[in-house]
Structure 1
Amino acid sequence: MDASGRGHTAAGASRGGFRTERAPDGRYRWQLKAPNGRVVAITSALFETPGEAERGFDGLRLGAAELTARITHVRDGIGWIWVIPGSRTLPEVRSSRAYERYATCQNAFRRFVVLLAKQPPRDVPARDVPARDVPARELPGKAVSLRHTDGR
Structure 2
Amino acid sequence: MVAITAAAFETPGEAERCFDGLRVGAAGLTARITHVREGIGWVWVVPGSRALPEVRSSRAYERYATCQNAFRRFVALLAKQPPRELPGSTAPLRRVDGR
Q: Which TM-score tier does this pair reach, normalised by the shorter chain?
A: 0.7 to 0.9
Task: Determine which structure has greater relative contact order: mean sequence separation of CA pairs < 8 Å that are 6+ residues apart, divided by chain length.
Answer: 2
Secondary structure, in 3 states, of the residue corresponding to 2:4?
Answer: strand
Name the residue aligned to 1:78.
40
Any gaps of 5 or more consecutive residues in structure 2? 92-99
Q: Which of the numbers 46, 52, 59 marks the counterpart of 1:97?
A: 59
For residue 113 of structure 1, what is the amino acid of its counterpart?
V
More helix by share: 2
* Partner residue in 2 for 1:108: 70
The root-mean-square deviation of aligned C-alpha atoms, in Å, is: 1.4
Q: Which of 40, 59, 64 is the aligned partner of 2:21?
A: 59
What is the CA distance between 1:76 and its match in structure 2?
1.2
**% identical equivalent positions:** 81
Structure 1: runs of 5+ lacking an equivalent: 1-38, 130-152
1:126, CA displacement in angstroms? Answer: 4.8
SS of match in other structure, 2:49: coil
Taking the aligned partners of 1:59 and 1:128, their CA distance within structure 2 comes to 18
Give how far 1:97 is off: 0.3
**Residue 122 (structure 1) shift:** 1.2
Could you say which residue in structure 2 is the equivalent of 1:69?
31
Please give the TM-score of this superposition, normalised by the length of structure 1.
0.57
Q: Is the 2:3–2:55 Cα contact (8 Å) retained in structure 1?
A: yes
TM-score if structure 2 supplies the norm length? 0.86
Separation in structure 1 between the aligned mates of residue 31 and residue 42 of structure 2, nearest angstrom: 12
